[in-house]
Structure 1
Amino acid sequence: MTPPDEIPPAVPNGHPEPDRRGAPGHGISVRGLAIGAVVGLVLLIVLPIGVYAVLTAGNEDTATDPAASASPTVEPPVVDGPVDGPPAGASTDFGLTLGDPGAPRSVVIYEDFLCPFCGQLQHEVGDRLDAAIDAGDVTVEYRPLGFLERISDYSPESANALAVVLDAEGPEVAAELRALLFDDQPSETGPFPDSDDLVALAVEAGADEARVRPGIESMAFESWVSEATETAMQDGIASIPAVLVDGETVEGQTLDDIVAAVLGTSG
Protein backbone atom coordinates (compact mmCIF):
# COMPACT_ATOMS: atom_id res chain seq x y z
CA MET A 1 0.00 0.00 0.00
CA THR A 2 1.25 3.46 -0.82
CA PRO A 3 2.16 5.51 2.30
CA PRO A 4 -0.21 8.43 3.10
CA ASP A 5 2.48 11.13 2.56
CA GLU A 6 2.90 10.02 -1.03
CA ILE A 7 -0.77 10.34 -2.01
CA PRO A 8 -0.93 13.12 -4.67
CA PRO A 9 -3.24 16.06 -4.06
CA ALA A 10 -6.65 15.94 -5.56
CA VAL A 11 -7.04 17.60 -8.97
CA PRO A 12 -10.38 19.23 -9.70
CA ASN A 13 -12.35 17.94 -12.64
CA GLY A 14 -10.01 15.18 -13.62
CA HIS A 15 -7.35 12.60 -12.71
CA PRO A 16 -3.95 13.53 -11.34
CA GLU A 17 -1.27 14.07 -13.89
CA PRO A 18 0.81 10.93 -14.10
CA ASP A 19 4.32 11.20 -12.66
CA ARG A 20 6.64 10.74 -15.61
CA ARG A 21 9.86 11.31 -13.71
CA GLY A 22 10.45 7.62 -13.20
CA ALA A 23 11.71 8.13 -9.68
CA PRO A 24 12.64 4.95 -7.87
CA GLY A 25 9.92 3.57 -5.66
CA HIS A 26 7.11 5.48 -7.32
CA GLY A 27 4.44 3.40 -9.09
CA ILE A 28 4.28 -0.29 -10.06
CA SER A 29 5.20 -1.41 -13.53
CA VAL A 30 3.33 -3.97 -15.60
CA ARG A 31 6.44 -6.12 -15.50
CA GLY A 32 6.44 -5.97 -11.73
CA LEU A 33 2.82 -7.01 -11.57
CA ALA A 34 3.52 -9.96 -13.85
CA ILE A 35 6.51 -11.08 -11.79
CA GLY A 36 4.51 -10.73 -8.59
CA ALA A 37 1.69 -12.80 -10.03
CA VAL A 38 4.09 -15.56 -11.06
CA VAL A 39 5.78 -15.60 -7.66
CA GLY A 40 2.41 -15.77 -5.96
CA LEU A 41 1.32 -18.67 -8.14
CA VAL A 42 4.55 -20.55 -7.42
CA LEU A 43 4.03 -20.05 -3.69
CA LEU A 44 0.48 -21.33 -3.95
CA ILE A 45 1.79 -24.48 -5.60
CA VAL A 46 4.95 -24.99 -3.54
CA LEU A 47 3.48 -24.34 -0.10
CA PRO A 48 0.88 -27.16 -0.25
CA ILE A 49 3.54 -29.53 -1.58
CA GLY A 50 5.86 -28.55 1.26
CA VAL A 51 3.11 -29.09 3.82
CA TYR A 52 2.32 -32.49 2.32
CA ALA A 53 6.02 -33.45 2.42
CA VAL A 54 6.20 -32.53 6.11
CA LEU A 55 3.05 -34.43 6.97
CA THR A 56 4.19 -37.56 5.17
CA ALA A 57 7.81 -37.42 6.37
CA GLY A 58 8.72 -40.66 8.12
CA ASN A 59 5.84 -42.55 6.45
CA GLU A 60 7.60 -43.38 3.21
CA ASP A 61 7.41 -47.13 3.82
CA THR A 62 3.64 -47.21 4.36
CA ALA A 63 3.06 -44.83 1.43
CA THR A 64 5.02 -46.95 -1.04
CA ASP A 65 4.59 -50.46 0.35
CA PRO A 66 0.95 -51.66 0.57
CA ALA A 67 2.08 -54.66 2.62
CA ALA A 68 3.38 -52.35 5.35
CA SER A 69 -0.15 -51.27 6.24
CA ALA A 70 -1.65 -54.76 6.08
CA SER A 71 -2.58 -56.58 9.26
CA PRO A 72 0.19 -59.04 10.27
CA THR A 73 -0.55 -62.76 10.19
CA VAL A 74 -0.66 -64.09 13.73
CA GLU A 75 0.44 -67.70 14.11
CA PRO A 76 -0.23 -69.74 17.23
CA PRO A 77 2.78 -70.08 19.53
CA VAL A 78 5.01 -73.13 19.27
CA VAL A 79 4.12 -75.67 21.97
CA ASP A 80 7.29 -77.07 23.52
CA GLY A 81 6.13 -78.58 26.79
CA PRO A 82 3.20 -80.21 28.60
CA VAL A 83 -0.09 -78.42 28.01
CA ASP A 84 -2.98 -78.43 30.44
CA GLY A 85 -5.78 -78.30 27.92
CA PRO A 86 -6.87 -79.39 24.45
CA PRO A 87 -5.13 -78.56 21.19
CA ALA A 88 -6.54 -75.66 19.23
CA GLY A 89 -9.22 -76.89 16.84
CA ALA A 90 -10.12 -80.04 18.78
CA SER A 91 -13.76 -80.81 19.49
CA THR A 92 -15.06 -80.78 23.05
CA ASP A 93 -15.21 -84.58 22.77
CA PHE A 94 -11.47 -85.01 22.07
CA GLY A 95 -11.86 -85.27 18.34
CA LEU A 96 -10.65 -84.10 14.96
CA THR A 97 -13.79 -83.02 13.11
CA LEU A 98 -13.99 -82.85 9.34
CA GLY A 99 -16.85 -81.81 7.08
CA ASP A 100 -19.85 -79.52 7.08
CA PRO A 101 -21.51 -79.37 10.53
CA GLY A 102 -24.86 -79.22 8.74
CA ALA A 103 -24.29 -82.44 6.78
CA PRO A 104 -27.22 -84.91 6.88
CA ARG A 105 -25.14 -87.72 8.43
CA SER A 106 -22.60 -87.81 11.24
CA VAL A 107 -19.99 -90.44 12.00
CA VAL A 108 -17.78 -90.74 15.08
CA ILE A 109 -14.83 -93.15 15.08
CA TYR A 110 -12.80 -94.04 18.19
CA GLU A 111 -9.40 -95.29 17.08
CA ASP A 112 -5.82 -96.02 18.06
CA PHE A 113 -2.99 -95.69 15.54
CA LEU A 114 -1.52 -98.95 16.84
CA CYS A 115 -4.79 -100.90 16.48
CA PRO A 116 -4.66 -103.16 13.37
CA PHE A 117 -8.47 -103.29 13.05
CA CYS A 118 -8.60 -99.47 13.11
CA GLY A 119 -6.08 -99.54 10.27
CA GLN A 120 -8.21 -102.00 8.32
CA LEU A 121 -11.30 -99.83 8.80
CA GLN A 122 -9.39 -96.80 7.52
CA HIS A 123 -8.22 -98.71 4.47
CA GLU A 124 -11.78 -99.87 3.75
CA VAL A 125 -13.64 -96.58 4.22
CA GLY A 126 -11.06 -93.78 4.30
CA ASP A 127 -11.21 -92.68 0.66
CA ARG A 128 -14.98 -93.03 0.45
CA LEU A 129 -15.48 -91.08 3.66
CA ASP A 130 -13.20 -88.35 2.34
CA ALA A 131 -15.31 -88.14 -0.81
CA ALA A 132 -18.51 -87.97 1.24
CA ILE A 133 -16.99 -85.22 3.40
CA ASP A 134 -16.02 -83.21 0.30
CA ALA A 135 -19.54 -83.65 -1.09
CA GLY A 136 -21.08 -82.31 2.11
CA ASP A 137 -22.86 -85.59 2.80
CA VAL A 138 -21.30 -86.41 6.17
CA THR A 139 -19.48 -84.96 9.14
CA VAL A 140 -16.79 -87.24 10.57
CA GLU A 141 -15.16 -86.93 13.98
CA TYR A 142 -12.06 -89.00 14.60
CA ARG A 143 -11.23 -89.50 18.28
CA PRO A 144 -7.64 -90.71 18.77
CA LEU A 145 -6.92 -92.72 21.92
CA GLY A 146 -3.96 -94.16 23.79
CA PHE A 147 -6.02 -97.34 24.18
CA LEU A 148 -3.12 -99.74 23.56
CA GLU A 149 -0.54 -98.04 25.78
CA ARG A 150 -0.18 -101.36 27.61
CA ILE A 151 1.42 -102.70 24.41
CA SER A 152 3.60 -99.73 23.50
CA ASP A 153 4.09 -96.05 24.27
CA TYR A 154 3.68 -95.52 20.53
CA SER A 155 -0.09 -95.63 21.11
CA PRO A 156 -0.28 -92.34 23.11
CA GLU A 157 2.76 -90.90 21.31
CA SER A 158 1.07 -91.08 17.91
CA ALA A 159 -2.16 -89.64 19.29
CA ASN A 160 -0.14 -86.81 20.82
CA ALA A 161 1.56 -86.17 17.47
CA LEU A 162 -1.85 -85.74 15.86
CA ALA A 163 -2.86 -83.31 18.62
CA VAL A 164 0.34 -81.28 18.18
CA VAL A 165 -0.18 -80.97 14.43
CA LEU A 166 -3.85 -80.07 14.89
CA ASP A 167 -2.85 -77.35 17.34
CA ALA A 168 -0.04 -75.93 15.20
CA GLU A 169 -1.26 -76.43 11.64
CA GLY A 170 -5.02 -76.98 11.69
CA PRO A 171 -7.42 -79.78 10.75
CA GLU A 172 -6.45 -80.26 7.11
CA VAL A 173 -2.82 -81.03 7.87
CA ALA A 174 -3.87 -83.10 10.90
CA ALA A 175 -6.20 -85.15 8.68
CA GLU A 176 -3.33 -85.80 6.27
CA LEU A 177 -1.12 -86.92 9.15
CA ARG A 178 -3.87 -89.22 10.41
CA ALA A 179 -3.99 -90.98 7.02
CA LEU A 180 -0.19 -91.30 6.95
CA LEU A 181 -0.12 -92.78 10.47
CA PHE A 182 -2.35 -95.59 9.25
CA ASP A 183 -0.46 -95.97 5.97
CA ASP A 184 2.77 -96.46 7.98
CA GLN A 185 1.17 -98.32 10.87
CA PRO A 186 3.59 -100.57 12.76
CA SER A 187 2.83 -104.09 13.90
CA GLU A 188 1.67 -104.55 17.48
CA THR A 189 4.90 -106.47 18.02
CA GLY A 190 7.12 -103.64 16.78
CA PRO A 191 9.51 -102.17 15.97
CA PHE A 192 7.81 -98.90 16.82
CA PRO A 193 8.45 -95.48 15.26
CA ASP A 194 10.21 -92.94 17.47
CA SER A 195 9.68 -89.19 17.77
CA ASP A 196 11.90 -88.50 14.75
CA ASP A 197 9.71 -90.80 12.66
CA LEU A 198 6.57 -89.02 13.87
CA VAL A 199 8.09 -85.62 13.07
CA ALA A 200 9.00 -86.85 9.59
CA LEU A 201 5.42 -87.98 8.98
CA ALA A 202 4.10 -84.65 10.24
CA VAL A 203 6.37 -82.78 7.84
CA GLU A 204 5.27 -85.08 5.01
CA ALA A 205 1.68 -84.19 5.89
CA GLY A 206 2.51 -80.50 5.45
CA ALA A 207 3.55 -79.35 8.93
CA ASP A 208 6.45 -77.01 9.67
CA GLU A 209 9.06 -79.07 11.50
CA ALA A 210 10.08 -76.18 13.77
CA ARG A 211 6.49 -75.77 14.88
CA VAL A 212 5.73 -79.42 15.67
CA ARG A 213 8.98 -81.09 16.71
CA PRO A 214 9.08 -79.58 20.25
CA GLY A 215 5.54 -80.68 21.06
CA ILE A 216 6.00 -84.17 19.61
CA GLU A 217 9.24 -84.73 21.50
CA SER A 218 7.91 -83.37 24.81
CA MET A 219 4.51 -85.15 24.61
CA ALA A 220 2.85 -81.75 24.92
CA PHE A 221 -0.71 -83.11 24.84
CA GLU A 222 -0.11 -86.30 26.83
CA SER A 223 -2.66 -85.31 29.47
CA TRP A 224 -5.26 -84.56 26.79
CA VAL A 225 -4.72 -88.00 25.21
CA SER A 226 -4.99 -89.66 28.64
CA GLU A 227 -8.19 -87.78 29.42
CA ALA A 228 -9.64 -88.72 26.03
CA THR A 229 -8.87 -92.39 26.67
CA GLU A 230 -10.32 -92.37 30.18
CA THR A 231 -13.45 -90.54 29.03
CA ALA A 232 -14.01 -93.02 26.21
CA MET A 233 -13.79 -95.97 28.60
CA GLN A 234 -16.15 -94.24 31.04
CA ASP A 235 -18.57 -93.81 28.12
CA GLY A 236 -18.53 -97.56 27.54
CA ILE A 237 -15.94 -97.87 24.77
CA ALA A 238 -14.52 -101.30 25.52
CA SER A 239 -13.00 -102.15 22.14
CA ILE A 240 -11.79 -100.32 19.09
CA PRO A 241 -12.56 -99.31 16.49
CA ALA A 242 -15.84 -98.12 17.95
CA VAL A 243 -18.25 -96.26 15.68
CA LEU A 244 -21.31 -94.08 16.15
CA VAL A 245 -23.53 -93.18 13.21
CA ASP A 246 -25.97 -90.34 13.79
CA GLY A 247 -25.37 -90.73 17.52
CA GLU A 248 -26.14 -94.46 17.60
CA THR A 249 -23.47 -97.06 18.40
CA VAL A 250 -22.84 -99.50 15.55
CA GLU A 251 -23.47 -102.99 16.88
CA GLY A 252 -21.99 -104.94 13.96
CA GLN A 253 -20.04 -108.07 14.79
CA THR A 254 -17.68 -107.94 11.83
CA LEU A 255 -15.59 -105.30 10.11
CA ASP A 256 -17.89 -105.60 7.10
CA ASP A 257 -20.85 -104.71 9.32
CA ILE A 258 -19.05 -101.63 10.58
CA VAL A 259 -17.97 -100.58 7.10
CA ALA A 260 -21.54 -100.89 5.83
CA ALA A 261 -22.88 -98.83 8.71
CA VAL A 262 -20.24 -96.12 8.27
CA LEU A 263 -20.91 -95.84 4.56
CA GLY A 264 -24.68 -96.01 5.01
CA THR A 265 -25.03 -99.12 2.87
CA SER A 266 -26.40 -101.54 5.48
CA GLY A 267 -29.88 -102.83 4.93
Structure 2
Amino acid sequence: MSKKSAELSRAERARAEIERQQAADRRRNWVVGGIVALLVVVVVVVGFVLTSSNDQTGKTAAAVPGGLSSDWTVTLGDPGAPTTVTIYEDPQCPICAQFEAMSSDALEKAVEDGRVKVDYRIVSFLDTHSQNEYSSRAANALMVVNEASGSEVFKAYHDLLYQRQPAEDTAGPSNSTLIDWAVEAGADRAAVTPGIEDDVYQQYVIDAADQMSKEGITGTPTIMIDGEIVGRGNPQEALQILLAKLKEGQ
Protein backbone atom coordinates (compact mmCIF):
# COMPACT_ATOMS: atom_id res chain seq x y z
CA MET A 1 0.00 0.00 0.00
CA SER A 2 1.39 3.42 -1.00
CA LYS A 3 1.84 6.20 1.54
CA LYS A 4 -0.98 8.15 -0.07
CA SER A 5 -3.32 5.15 0.08
CA ALA A 6 -2.45 4.58 3.74
CA GLU A 7 -3.21 8.22 4.55
CA LEU A 8 -6.59 7.98 2.76
CA SER A 9 -7.41 4.80 4.68
CA ARG A 10 -6.60 6.47 8.01
CA ALA A 11 -8.69 9.50 7.04
CA GLU A 12 -11.63 7.32 6.13
CA ARG A 13 -11.37 5.42 9.42
CA ALA A 14 -11.15 8.69 11.33
CA ARG A 15 -14.17 10.09 9.48
CA ALA A 16 -16.09 6.88 10.16
CA GLU A 17 -15.17 7.07 13.85
CA ILE A 18 -16.28 10.69 14.05
CA GLU A 19 -19.60 9.81 12.37
CA ARG A 20 -20.04 6.91 14.81
CA GLN A 21 -19.40 9.19 17.77
CA GLN A 22 -21.78 11.80 16.38
CA ALA A 23 -24.48 9.16 15.94
CA ALA A 24 -23.91 7.94 19.49
CA ASP A 25 -24.09 11.51 20.76
CA ARG A 26 -27.40 12.04 18.91
CA ARG A 27 -28.85 8.85 20.39
CA ARG A 28 -27.69 9.88 23.85
CA ASN A 29 -29.22 13.34 23.43
CA TRP A 30 -32.51 11.80 22.29
CA VAL A 31 -32.57 9.54 25.36
CA VAL A 32 -31.68 12.38 27.76
CA GLY A 33 -34.19 14.68 26.06
CA GLY A 34 -36.89 12.03 26.34
CA ILE A 35 -36.17 11.50 30.02
CA VAL A 36 -36.27 15.25 30.67
CA ALA A 37 -39.57 15.55 28.79
CA LEU A 38 -41.01 12.62 30.73
CA LEU A 39 -39.93 14.18 34.02
CA VAL A 40 -41.59 17.46 33.01
CA VAL A 41 -44.82 15.60 32.26
CA VAL A 42 -44.64 13.77 35.60
CA VAL A 43 -44.03 17.03 37.46
CA VAL A 44 -46.97 18.70 35.70
CA VAL A 45 -49.29 15.77 36.40
CA VAL A 46 -48.24 15.54 40.05
CA GLY A 47 -48.67 19.29 40.41
CA PHE A 48 -52.15 19.10 38.90
CA VAL A 49 -53.16 16.24 41.19
CA LEU A 50 -51.84 18.01 44.27
CA THR A 51 -53.54 21.25 43.27
CA SER A 52 -56.83 19.47 42.63
CA SER A 53 -56.53 17.68 45.95
CA ASN A 54 -55.86 20.95 47.73
CA ASP A 55 -58.82 22.55 45.97
CA GLN A 56 -61.11 19.73 47.10
CA THR A 57 -59.69 19.81 50.62
CA GLY A 58 -60.12 23.56 50.83
CA LYS A 59 -63.67 23.51 49.50
CA THR A 60 -66.29 24.02 52.18
CA ALA A 61 -68.82 21.20 52.11
CA ALA A 62 -72.45 22.03 52.59
CA ALA A 63 -73.59 21.56 56.16
CA VAL A 64 -76.09 18.71 56.35
CA PRO A 65 -78.98 19.20 58.79
CA GLY A 66 -79.40 16.69 61.56
CA GLY A 67 -82.59 14.76 62.05
CA LEU A 68 -82.99 13.65 58.45
CA SER A 69 -83.96 10.04 57.77
CA SER A 70 -81.69 10.28 54.74
CA ASP A 71 -80.23 13.12 52.72
CA TRP A 72 -82.85 15.61 51.55
CA THR A 73 -85.68 13.97 53.50
CA VAL A 74 -87.61 14.83 56.65
CA THR A 75 -89.73 11.80 57.56
CA LEU A 76 -92.97 11.86 59.51
CA GLY A 77 -94.52 8.64 60.76
CA ASP A 78 -93.48 5.07 61.34
CA PRO A 79 -90.50 4.15 59.10
CA GLY A 80 -92.10 0.70 58.73
CA ALA A 81 -95.45 2.01 57.48
CA PRO A 82 -96.75 0.07 54.45
CA THR A 83 -97.08 3.17 52.24
CA THR A 84 -94.57 5.95 51.65
CA VAL A 85 -95.74 9.31 50.34
CA THR A 86 -92.92 11.57 49.12
CA ILE A 87 -93.66 15.26 48.61
CA TYR A 88 -91.31 17.75 46.94
CA GLU A 89 -92.20 21.29 48.01
CA ASP A 90 -90.89 24.85 47.79
CA PRO A 91 -92.02 27.15 50.65
CA GLN A 92 -92.85 29.91 48.13
CA CYS A 93 -94.87 27.60 45.83
CA PRO A 94 -98.56 28.62 45.94
CA ILE A 95 -99.76 25.31 44.50
CA CYS A 96 -97.86 23.53 47.28
CA ALA A 97 -99.83 25.61 49.77
CA GLN A 98 -103.08 24.60 48.06
CA PHE A 99 -102.08 20.94 48.06
CA GLU A 100 -101.21 21.09 51.76
CA ALA A 101 -104.53 22.72 52.61
CA MET A 102 -106.41 19.97 50.80
CA SER A 103 -104.36 16.93 51.87
CA SER A 104 -102.99 17.73 55.30
CA ASP A 105 -105.84 16.32 57.44
CA ALA A 106 -106.05 13.02 55.55
CA LEU A 107 -102.29 12.55 55.58
CA GLU A 108 -102.01 13.37 59.27
CA LYS A 109 -104.65 10.79 60.15
CA ALA A 110 -102.97 8.15 57.97
CA VAL A 111 -99.64 8.88 59.67
CA GLU A 112 -101.21 8.67 63.13
CA ASP A 113 -102.81 5.34 62.21
CA GLY A 114 -99.42 3.96 61.11
CA ARG A 115 -100.60 3.39 57.55
CA VAL A 116 -98.36 5.98 55.91
CA LYS A 117 -95.04 7.67 56.39
CA VAL A 118 -94.48 10.99 54.66
CA ASP A 119 -91.09 11.99 53.29
CA TYR A 120 -90.89 15.77 52.86
CA ARG A 121 -88.21 16.98 50.49
CA ILE A 122 -87.94 20.73 50.88
CA VAL A 123 -86.28 22.56 47.98
CA SER A 124 -85.91 26.15 46.87
CA PHE A 125 -85.94 27.55 43.35
CA LEU A 126 -88.48 30.41 43.64
CA ASP A 127 -86.28 33.16 45.08
CA THR A 128 -86.80 34.99 41.80
CA HIS A 129 -90.46 35.32 42.83
CA SER A 130 -89.59 36.96 46.14
CA GLN A 131 -88.23 40.40 46.91
CA ASN A 132 -86.10 39.08 49.77
CA GLU A 133 -85.24 35.46 48.90
CA TYR A 134 -88.03 34.10 51.04
CA SER A 135 -88.02 30.68 49.34
CA SER A 136 -84.47 29.74 50.33
CA ARG A 137 -84.63 31.44 53.75
CA ALA A 138 -87.81 29.57 54.65
CA ALA A 139 -86.31 26.28 53.44
CA ASN A 140 -83.26 26.92 55.61
CA ALA A 141 -85.51 27.76 58.57
CA LEU A 142 -87.40 24.48 58.15
CA MET A 143 -84.13 22.52 58.25
CA VAL A 144 -82.99 24.43 61.35
CA VAL A 145 -86.27 23.77 63.16
CA ASN A 146 -86.26 20.09 62.25
CA GLU A 147 -82.72 19.67 63.55
CA ALA A 148 -83.31 21.64 66.74
CA SER A 149 -86.82 20.47 67.63
CA GLY A 150 -87.68 17.30 65.72
CA SER A 151 -90.13 16.30 63.05
CA GLU A 152 -93.34 17.09 64.94
CA VAL A 153 -92.35 20.72 65.44
CA PHE A 154 -91.05 20.76 61.86
CA LYS A 155 -94.55 19.74 60.69
CA ALA A 156 -96.27 22.40 62.79
CA TYR A 157 -93.84 25.02 61.46
CA HIS A 158 -94.20 23.72 57.91
CA ASP A 159 -97.99 24.11 58.16
CA LEU A 160 -97.69 27.64 59.57
CA LEU A 161 -95.40 28.70 56.72
CA TYR A 162 -97.91 27.51 54.12
CA GLN A 163 -100.86 29.06 55.93
CA ARG A 164 -99.00 32.41 56.02
CA GLN A 165 -97.23 32.12 52.69
CA PRO A 166 -96.46 35.51 51.12
CA ALA A 167 -97.79 36.24 47.65
CA GLU A 168 -95.33 35.69 44.82
CA ASP A 169 -93.19 38.70 43.86
CA THR A 170 -93.65 40.34 47.26
CA ALA A 171 -91.37 40.59 50.27
CA GLY A 172 -91.68 37.60 52.53
CA PRO A 173 -91.38 37.72 56.30
CA SER A 174 -88.06 38.72 57.80
CA ASN A 175 -85.79 36.27 59.59
CA SER A 176 -86.96 37.64 62.93
CA THR A 177 -90.55 36.80 61.95
CA LEU A 178 -89.48 33.32 60.82
CA ILE A 179 -87.94 32.86 64.27
CA ASP A 180 -91.13 34.07 65.98
CA TRP A 181 -93.20 31.61 63.96
CA ALA A 182 -90.78 28.79 64.78
CA VAL A 183 -91.25 29.52 68.48
CA GLU A 184 -95.01 29.60 67.94
CA ALA A 185 -94.75 26.14 66.37
CA GLY A 186 -92.96 24.81 69.44
CA ALA A 187 -89.25 25.45 68.81
CA ASP A 188 -86.85 26.90 71.36
CA ARG A 189 -85.89 30.44 70.40
CA ALA A 190 -82.28 30.16 71.49
CA ALA A 191 -81.87 26.88 69.59
CA VAL A 192 -83.14 28.12 66.22
CA THR A 193 -82.14 31.79 66.15
CA PRO A 194 -78.46 31.41 65.09
CA GLY A 195 -79.22 28.96 62.28
CA ILE A 196 -82.04 31.05 60.84
CA GLU A 197 -80.20 34.36 61.16
CA ASP A 198 -76.97 32.98 59.65
CA ASP A 199 -78.75 31.01 56.88
CA VAL A 200 -76.61 28.10 57.98
CA TYR A 201 -78.03 25.61 55.45
CA GLN A 202 -77.94 27.90 52.45
CA GLN A 203 -75.66 25.64 50.42
CA TYR A 204 -77.54 22.52 51.50
CA VAL A 205 -80.78 24.06 50.21
CA ILE A 206 -79.10 24.79 46.85
CA ASP A 207 -77.77 21.23 46.70
CA ALA A 208 -81.20 19.80 47.49
CA ALA A 209 -82.68 21.60 44.48
CA ASP A 210 -79.82 20.31 42.32
CA GLN A 211 -80.50 16.78 43.52
CA MET A 212 -84.19 17.18 42.70
CA SER A 213 -83.25 18.14 39.15
CA LYS A 214 -80.89 15.14 38.85
CA GLU A 215 -83.78 12.90 39.87
CA GLY A 216 -85.86 14.26 37.00
CA ILE A 217 -88.25 16.24 39.20
CA THR A 218 -89.11 19.43 37.34
CA GLY A 219 -91.52 21.26 39.61
CA THR A 220 -93.39 21.46 42.89
CA PRO A 221 -95.46 20.04 44.29
CA THR A 222 -94.42 16.62 43.05
CA ILE A 223 -96.07 13.72 44.83
CA MET A 224 -94.86 10.14 44.80
CA ILE A 225 -96.56 7.07 46.25
CA ASP A 226 -94.12 4.25 46.97
CA GLY A 227 -91.60 5.78 44.59
CA GLU A 228 -93.98 6.40 41.69
CA ILE A 229 -94.93 9.93 40.64
CA VAL A 230 -98.69 10.46 40.60
CA GLY A 231 -100.66 13.23 38.90
CA ARG A 232 -97.55 14.69 37.31
CA GLY A 233 -98.10 18.42 37.01
CA ASN A 234 -101.64 18.15 38.37
CA PRO A 235 -101.86 18.28 42.18
CA GLN A 236 -105.64 17.82 42.09
CA GLU A 237 -105.22 14.52 40.29
CA ALA A 238 -102.36 13.59 42.61
CA LEU A 239 -104.59 14.30 45.58
CA GLN A 240 -107.39 12.12 44.22
CA ILE A 241 -104.98 9.24 43.66
CA LEU A 242 -103.50 9.77 47.10
CA LEU A 243 -106.89 9.84 48.85
CA ALA A 244 -107.96 6.68 46.98
CA LYS A 245 -104.77 4.98 48.12
CA LEU A 246 -105.38 6.03 51.72
CA LYS A 247 -108.95 4.79 51.55
CA GLU A 248 -107.73 1.37 50.39
CA GLY A 249 -105.71 1.02 53.54
CA GLN A 250 -108.56 1.81 55.92
TM-score of the aligned structures, taking structure 2 as reference length:
0.70
Instruction: Tell me the number of residue pairs that the alignment of Structure 1 and Structure 2 aligns.
Output: 186
Runs of 4+ in 1 over 4 A off after TM superposition: none
Match of 1:226 among 182, 206, 216: 206
Q: Tell whether 2:225 aligns with 1:248.
A: no
Q: Contact 1:245 / 1:261 at 8 angstroms: preserved in 2?
A: no
1:262, CA displacement in angstroms?
2.3
Q: Contact 2:145 / 2:192 at 8 angstroms: preserved in 1?
A: yes
- Report the counterpart of residue 85 of structure 1 in structure 2: 63
Q: Contact 2:231 / 2:241 at 8 angstroms: preserved in 1?
A: no
| Matched residue SS, 1:102 | coil
Moved more, 120-129 or 255-264: 255-264
- 1:195-240: CA deviation from partner (whole Å, max 9, x where unpaired): 0110011000011111111110100111111111110011111111
* Runs (5+) with no aligned partner, structure 1: 1-81
The structure having more radius of gyration, on CA atoms, is 1
- 1:79-126: CA deviation from partner (whole Å, max 9, x where unpaired): xxx983321111323111001111111100000111000000000001
Gap change, CA 1:93 and 1:264, over 3 Å in 2: farther
- Report the counterpart of residue 145 of structure 2 in structure 1: 165
Match of 1:191 among 171, 187, 199: 171
Between the two proteins, what is the percent identity of the paired residues? 40
Instruction: Give the aligned residue type for 1:103.
Output: A
Distance (Å, rounded) in 1 between the aligned partners of 2:233 and 2:126: 21
Q: Tell whether 2:214 aligns with 1:214.
A: no
- 1:129-165: CA deviation from partner (whole Å, max 9, x where unpaired): 0110000010101111112122221001000000001
TM-score of the aligned structures, taking structure 1 as reference length:
0.66
Match of 1:123 among 93, 101, 124: 101
Distance (Å, rounded) in 2 between the aligned partners of 1:165 and 1:100: 20
Gap change, CA 1:127 and 1:89, over 3 Å in 2: same
Q: Contact 1:83 / 1:220 at 8 angstroms: preserved in 2?
A: no
Q: Tell whether 2:117 aligns with 1:139.
A: yes
Distance (Å, rounded) in 1 between the aligned partners of 2:128 and 2:159: 23
- Report the counterpart of residue 113 of structure 1 in structure 2: 91
- 1:38-77: CA deviation from partner (whole Å, max 9, x where unpaired): xxxxxxxxxxxxxxxxxxxxxxxxxxxxxxxxxxxxxxxx
Distance (Å, rounded) in 2 between the aligned partners of 1:201 and 1:238: 30
Gap change, CA 1:164 and 1:192, over 3 Å in 2: same
- Report the counterpart of residue 80 of structure 2 in structure 1: 102
- Report the counterpart of residue 262 of structure 1 in structure 2: 242
Gap change, CA 1:134 and 1:83, over 3 Å in 2: farther
Instruction: Give the aligned residue type for 1:174.
Output: F
| Matched residue SS, 2:114 | coil
| Matched residue SS, 1:150 | helix
Moved more, 119-128 or 243-252: 243-252
1:188, CA displacement in angstroms?
0.5
Q: Contact 2:77 / 2:117 at 8 angstroms: preserved in 1?
A: yes
Distance (Å, rounded) in 1 between the aligned partners of 2:230 and 2:144: 30
- Report the counterpart of residue 162 of structure 2 in structure 1: 182
